[in-house]
Amino acid sequence: MKLITCCSFKGGAGKTTALMGLCSAFAANGKTVALFEADENRPLSTWMENSVEGGTWDERCTVFVADEMSLLEEAYEGAEARGFDYALADTHGGSSELNNTIIASSDFLLVPTMLTPLDIDEALSTYRYIIELLVAENLHAQTAILQQRVPVGRVTASQRAAAEVLSALPQFDAPMFERDAFAAMKTRGMLHLTLATMSSNPALRLMARNYETALAELGVLGAFVADKLGV
């Protein structure tokens, strides 16, 4: 089982959105996914509840509450015993023993960020913290920046400057664009199953095309992570 963590010290950076999208990409490819919820606000549990209610939850995926050390250990052991292909961890904001343990246990770390000066500063701080922790513990894990909520059309001069600041760091080549399909995942459910529901309704055909594009982009993200992990 490979552990992939979305990590950011700043709330609202898009880490939960990235994690939900990556989960949908893996599940759409037939993989089983354990979701470790270390965020005390429990957005993943809410996502699962909304998805189950709407019939858009993939049974290959399971949410494990892991917002305490004992719960994290229990979740990891349970997921490993059940043979999940991937585990995705959603950290809480800031540094803590819980976050440090998740980071140190991860095989791959994604640091999502929007292209604003404040978000870039926080992403750089998070990235530096991760690297220093791994070095101190004599550990190695793939780490990459993921640009979030990038406009589909033209970006502003400020956003281009922000992206340039990140150019020296390892990052996913393509961003997660600012799409309704991504923004609505928390309420509509897993993207690949939402798309399947839309495809059966002729009135939603245009929206379904947008979801197809979004799912294809997530597939590229999933393939990028799998390739870095040697899967």
Q: Which of these ranges, 14-28, 74-88, 184-198, 199-213, has the smallest mean pLDDT?
A: 199-213
Q: What's the confidence (pLDDT) of residue 6?
A: 92
- Confidence grade of residue 156 (pLDDT, cut at 50, 70, 90): confident
Q: What is the CATH number of the domain that holds 61?
A: 3.40.50.300
If you count them, how many residues does the chain have?
Answer: 231
Which residue range(s) make up the domain with 181?
A: 2-229
10 band by pLDDT with thresholds 50, 70 and 90: confident
CB 6 within 8 A of CB 35: no
State the Cα–Cα distance between residues 166 and 67, nearest whole angstrom: 30
What is the pLDDT, as a whole number, of residue 46?
94
pLDDT value of residue 57: 96
The model's pLDDT over 103-129, given as tens digits with 9 standing for 90+, comes to 999 999 999 999 888 889 999 999 999
Model confidence at 132: pLDDT above 80: yes
- Split at pLDDT 50, 70, 90, the class of 94 is confident
174-212 pLDDT, tens digit per residue, is 889 999 999 999 999 999 999 988 888 888 887 888 899
The percentage of the chain sitting over the pLDDT mark of 70, rounded to a whole number, equals: 100
CA–CA gap between residue 131 and residue 140 (Å, rounded): 9
Output the pLDDT for position 41: 86
Q: How many domains does the chain fold into?
A: 1
Contact by Cβ (8 Å): 165, 117 = no
Q: What is the pTM of this model?
A: 0.91
List the 61-65 sheet strands across, edge first.
61-65, 33-37, 86-90, 2-6, 108-113, 142-150, 176-177
